[in-house]
Chains A and B, each alone.
Chain A
Amino acid sequence: MLAKTGMDRLDELMKGGIPQKSNVVVYAPPFIGKEIILKRFAAAGLEEGERVIFVLTDKSFADMKEEMEKLVPSYREYESKGMVQYIDVYSSSVELKEESEWVTFVDSPVNRERIASSITQSLKKNEGHSRIIFDSISTLIVYSDAKAVFRFLQVLSGVCKRMDATSLFSMTRGMHEEIEVQTIKHLMDGVIELREEGARFQLRVQGCGEVISRHWIDYLLEENEIRLTGAFRMGRVA
């Protein structure tokens, strides 16, 4: 079974999508489309009737909600059906906040135990497939230490698989040492990597089951869209 990414040509490249129950990291420098992939993946999940859990370390749940509403016309409807849950690790916990059924606040990115158990609790509420959007691993590493985050991800990826969730994690290129990046990749079932090569944006897929091409492929970055323009089929010209 495959989880559609919500971007037609990316799905085509990946022969239909990301294998369900896998953990994939989107590894990219800032501002070249990482967030778009995460949001599109969330939107595609909702359209498929799957539930979505956002784990946010870099923006508040309210900001994510606003961005998703722009992207998905019926987002509020999905929300009111209880298909969206947020684990907000960003909003400061200094003032006591009312937790709603769909938002859990975690006071600090250091509190990995709280993050892990919030995800487990949220997954327990769900029936069927879920998607987890985890944005971002980088913040977790910055706040503590890479080894601690590896252990956390080791536990979390097991939980997600067991509980029928497909997870997309984001990691920012340029913030980490190569060895950290390699270790995180090693923990994942696949990597979607983005880069800026001169004036071109390029994407490549590693792991993630069967794909048509593992080469760097050009894409165009639009407001809320990533459009693969490069060729990845034999006989097709870019």
Chain B
Amino acid sequence: MIETGIPKLDEYLGGIPPGKSLIFSIEPGVEESNMGIHVLHHVLEKGLHGMYVASESSPKNLKKAFSEFGWDVKKYERLTVIDGYSSLIGSPSDEQYVVEEPHDIKSYEDALMMALENITGSGVIVFDSLSTMMDMCGERETLEGIATINDEIGGSQFAAVYNFIAWPYKEAIFYRIRRLFNAIVDVSVVEDVATRQRMHVRKVDWQDGAEGRGFDFKIFKPEGFRIYIPKISVVGPFQSGKTTFIKALATQFTPVERMGASVGLEYGLVDYRGYRADVFGIPGQERFLPLLGKLGASSMGILLLVDATRPHEFEFAKRILATFPGIPYVIVANKQDLPGALKEAEVRERFGLPDAVVVEASALRGEGVHEAFMKLVNIIVEGPHAR
């Protein structure tokens, strides 16, 4: 299996088997459209071969695209560029493999076959992009050529990854494309709380249960691909340890503390295991209760903090939770470092919420903090059945 390096997608697909093809069908105008480059980089990092078929911008631009993520193309000896661009604009090419006639898909085929013959080993071939090739070589002709190319790759140790911008082509073209590839992953724009992108597995013929699954992400520079959750709110009664919790969780933190109490909206940026979330801490004094709904509006998930040594506050905590109906939540039984802190099962029972996810934590010691975060993001991304 050849991993894509894209979190969640690898989990769903189990990677791409050598010989198979995957197409990213990308809505025009998304912030970042070059999905293939991330797969290319990941595969190169793993020490495998990476071929990059450039048809819409100069091979030199790959260096720039890599450098935006802090990657250095020179580092990868197993990177091969198949240049379908230079001939197009009539400039000389520095690459070993050149598509001499960029208006003929056969010429792409020839260059690729030559590369495949010369390079032994396993890896990925990234086409950037299929849509440009179609525009240059004709839609039907290109797809016929791609069928041949996919057959050839089928007998090799390489997996094929295509970037495809889904311009408004005729339906017949989309119909053909749906049949031509082993896997189709749609990439679209999501705009609600914050702009981000969505990946949705439309088809995959080597893995059961992956079709229809998806996740939201954003590509950050230079950090790269992240499953992105624009708003998680940390709520809970006064002095339940919200600030300490966010500090322990966040990579970056903006405090709003006055004499040990938080008097405004705290913000923390969490970057953890391929996930990124903007986390907001909402003050827990009772006088803030009427504002809770507004401050926490459009939260994608709630971390409800309680002091596990103060069960009499759980009733108030439940009232806080009730202001966010239908939003995924995790109850954090904090202050496990203190004697007498109630354990998971007991907290669940006292709350009277038998299905609630409860995580024991000590924000002070940084224990259980990331566990609670990961449980919550899993529920957000995968739905309530995920635990």
Q: Which residues of A contact B88 (CB under 8 A)?
A: 110, 143
Q: Which of A13-21, A74-82, A146-154 contacts B (4 or more CB under 8 A)?
A: A146-154
Q: Chain B, 8-40, contact with A by CB distance < 8 Å: what is the 0/1 string?
A: 000000000000000000101111110000000
> Is the pair B58, A117 in contact by a Cβ cutoff of 8 Å?
no
Q: A107-B57, A117-B30 are in contact. Are A148 and B85 (CB under 8 A)?
A: no
Q: Chain A, 115-132, contact with B by CB distance < 8 Å: what is the 0/1 string?
A: 011011100100000000
State the CA gap A111–B56 with chains docked (Å).
Answer: 5
20 residue pairs bridging A and B, Cβ less than 8 Å apart? A96-B64, A107-B58, A107-B61, A108-B61, A110-B55, A110-B56, A110-B132, A111-B56, A113-B56, A114-B57, A117-B29, A117-B31, A124-B195, A145-B136, A147-B135, A148-B167, A152-B28, A154-B168, A155-B167, A155-B168
Q: A113-B129, A155-B29 are in contact. Are A144 and B136 (CB under 8 A)?
A: yes
Closest chain B CB from A112 CB (angstroms): 8
Main secondary structure of the interface of A (DSSP, over half): helix
Interface residues of B in 131-146 (CB under 8 A from A): 131-132, 135-136
Taking beta carbons and an 8 Å cutoff, which residues of A are in contact with B? 93-94, 96, 107-108, 110-114, 116-117, 119-121, 124, 143-145, 147-148, 151-152, 154-155, 159
B165 within 8 A of A: yes
Is the interface on chain B under 10, 10 to 19, 20 to 34, or 35 or more residues? 20 to 34
Residue from A113, A148, A152, A154 in contact with B33 in the complex, judged by beta carbons closer than 8 Å: A113
Closest chain B CB from A236 CB (angstroms): 45
Q: Which residues of B contact A107 (CB under 8 A)?
A: 57-58, 61, 64
Residue from B29, B61, B63 in contact with A159 in the complex, judged by beta carbons closer than 8 Å: B29
State the CA gap A215–B42 with chains docked (Å).
Answer: 61
Closest chain B CB from A143 CB (angstroms): 7
B67 within 8 A of A: yes
B319 within 8 A of A: no
B169 within 8 A of A: yes
Q: Which residues of A contact B131 (CB under 8 A)?
A: 113
> Is the pair A108, B85 in contact by a Cβ cutoff of 8 Å?
yes
> Is the pair A120, B29 in contact by a Cβ cutoff of 8 Å?
yes
Residue among A110, A112, A147, A159 facing the most chain B CB atoms (10 A cut-off): A110
Residue from B89, B129, B167 in contact with A152 in the complex, judged by beta carbons closer than 8 Å: B167
State the CA gap A174–B216 with chains docked (Å).
Answer: 47
> Is the pair B56, A116 in contact by a Cβ cutoff of 8 Å?
no
Closest chain B CB from A212 CB (angstroms): 35
Q: Which residues of B contact A112 (CB under 8 A)?
A: 165
Closest chain A CB from B103 CB (angstroms): 9
B179 within 8 A of A: no
Q: Which residues of A contact B64 (CB under 8 A)?
A: 93, 96, 107
> Is the pair A108, B57 in contact by a Cβ cutoff of 8 Å?
yes
Q: Chain B, 43-66, contact with A by CB distance < 8 Å: what is the 0/1 string?
A: 000000000000111101101100
